[in-house]
Amino acid sequence: MNELLQLENFSVEFKIKRGIGRAVDNVSIDVRKDENFGLVGESGCGKTTLCKAIIQLLPGNGRIASGSAMFQGRDLVSLSKAEISKVRWKSISMIAQSAMNALDPVYRVEDQIIEAILHHTNATRAKALERTRELFNLVGLPQSAIGRYPHQFSGGMRQRAIIAMALALDPQLIIADEPTTALDVIVQAQILRRINELRSRIKGSMIMITHDISVVAETCDRVAVMYGGNIVEQGGVHQVLLEPFHPYTLGLRNAFPSITGARTELVSIPGSPPDIFDPPPGCKFEDRCPFRVDRCAQEQPLPEQVGPDHYTACHRLEDHELMKRAAVERKTWQGTKAAKRLEIQGGYSGRPTQQKETQGGEPA
């Protein structure tokens, strides 16, 4: 039994004045032991909602509409409030987005970690302090940071402190929601490196929620791509990022230019995500998909296996080679329903050095 967390047909709904919306729609994924699992998608795709729902942290108007979340032999969905609060922090901990800004400014950082420990276990204060020092070490905070307040920590240090807090009780699973988005690039590299190092030093799995596939490429073993509440593709990180099958994944790759290798064109996916309160009847990506056929508008595709441990939900899998080649060109994406509707004038597609001799950049 290699699975740590198994989600089966998991759905989450929100109720507002306008109606009911499905933020998470029939998601089935599993996170295995000792692995980093990436959950990739853009704003509004449901990745944060999914993870909050697992540990029952949804706001008042949200509910788990269907499905199960099996963790250590129990279905998290069915746990009572008391039972789930025992699971939180000790077995599954979550680093919320911009948690680094949520540290209480009037308490020392180490006190906040100690308090978390004392609250969830019956350790003594001395033991908790010792554990905190250990954690500071683990995340790369200097011992001189003990005794300081959050405002005396830099951004990177605060994020490390938050990670320390998440690790405090040795959870089996940490959910990290955009842990490096607000950080500068060098600090981000430090944190990602540290996250990779931690894997050899502690046991446990991580779900890394991010919109940045570079982060996934650097830290994750397996990844799932989300769009409009659905998982459109999932599998090993090599397969999904290097040999994607789903048109959205193909398009997403174009949006992440690489600093290495040759310069390729910057291509976008015109349009915007579907309204979860008024979803299209068929595939959610149909409106922005260059490869749509009539079936796509009528029927939602189900995940199918396309490789060892690699699944994709798309009606046109057999045309995969064609899609892969066409996806790198901008004109492919100008032909979608969304693009035509928006009649975007793209404008520029060449290289910036075409017209000017290098005159610029000369200092006085």
x-or-dash string of contact with other proteins, 29-68, rule CB under 8 A = -------------xx-------------------------
Binding residues with other proteins: total (CB under 8 A): 66
Angle at CA 359, nearest 5°, toward 353 and 364?
A: 140
Rank residues 90 and 140 by Cβ distance to other proteins and give the closer one. Answer: 140
Contact between 254 and other proteins by CB under 8 A: the answer reads yes
Sole binder of other proteins in the list 124, 268, 298, 305 (CB under 8 A) = 268
- Tell me the window of 49-57, 116-124, 131-139, 212-220 that interacts with other proteins (CB under 8 A): 212-220
Distance separating alpha carbons of residues 324 and 123, to the nearest angstrom: 55
Determine the straight-line distance between the first and last CA of the chain, rounded to whole angstroms. Answer: 67
Closest-CA residue to 226 (of 356, 92, 46, 23): 46
Which segment (52-60, 76-84, 104-112, 258-266) binds other proteins by CB under 8 A? 258-266
Please identify, among the stretches 71-79, 93-101, 115-123, 250-258, the one whose residues bind other proteins according to the rule CB under 8 A.
250-258
Token pair of 116 as six digits: 């978390």
Neighbours of 231 (CB within 10 A): 28
Amino acid at 169: L
| Distance in angstroms (rounded) separating the CA atoms of residues 212 and 225 | 11
Q: Which residue, 18 or 81, has its beta carbon nearer to other proteins?
A: 18
User: Which of 213, 231, 296, 306 forms a contact with other proteins (CB under 8 A)?
Assistant: 213
Q: Which residue of 72, 137, 258, 298 would you call a contact of other proteins, by CB under 8 A?
A: 258
Give the tokens for residue 118. Answer: 């004392």
Q: For residue 92, what are the β-bridge partners?
A: 88, 173
**What string of DSSP letters covers 162-206?**
HHHHHHTT--SEEEEESTTTTS-HHHHHHHHHHHHHHHHHS--EE
| Six-digit token string for 182 | 């607000």
Q: Shortest gap between Cβ of 303 and other proteins (angstroms)?
A: 21
Selected binder of other proteins within 99, 215, 226, 231 (CB under 8 A): 215
The mark string for 186-205 relative to other proteins (x by CB under 8 A, - otherwise) is: xxxxx-xx------------
Return the exposure string of 1-34: e unless at least 16 CB atoms fall within 10 Å of the residue's CB, then b: eeebbbbeebbbbbeeeeeebbbbbbbbbbbeee
Question: Would you count residue 259 as binding other proteins (CB under 8 A)?
Answer: yes
Residues 147-186 that bind other proteins (CB under 8 A): 154-157, 184-186
Distance of alpha carbon 105 from alpha carbon 142, whole angstroms:
20
Helix, strand or coil, per DSSP, at residue 272:
coil
Backbone angles phi, psi at 114, to 5 degrees: -60, -40
Select from 57, 70, 123, 255 the one that contacts other proteins (CB under 8 A): 255
Mark the segment that binds other proteins (CB under 8 A) among 56-64, 128-136, 213-221, 320-328.
213-221
Contact residues toward other proteins (CB under 8 A) are 42-43, 154-157, 184-190, 192-193, 211-218, 237-238, 241-242, 251-260, 263, 266-270, 272, 275, 341-349, 352-353, 355-364
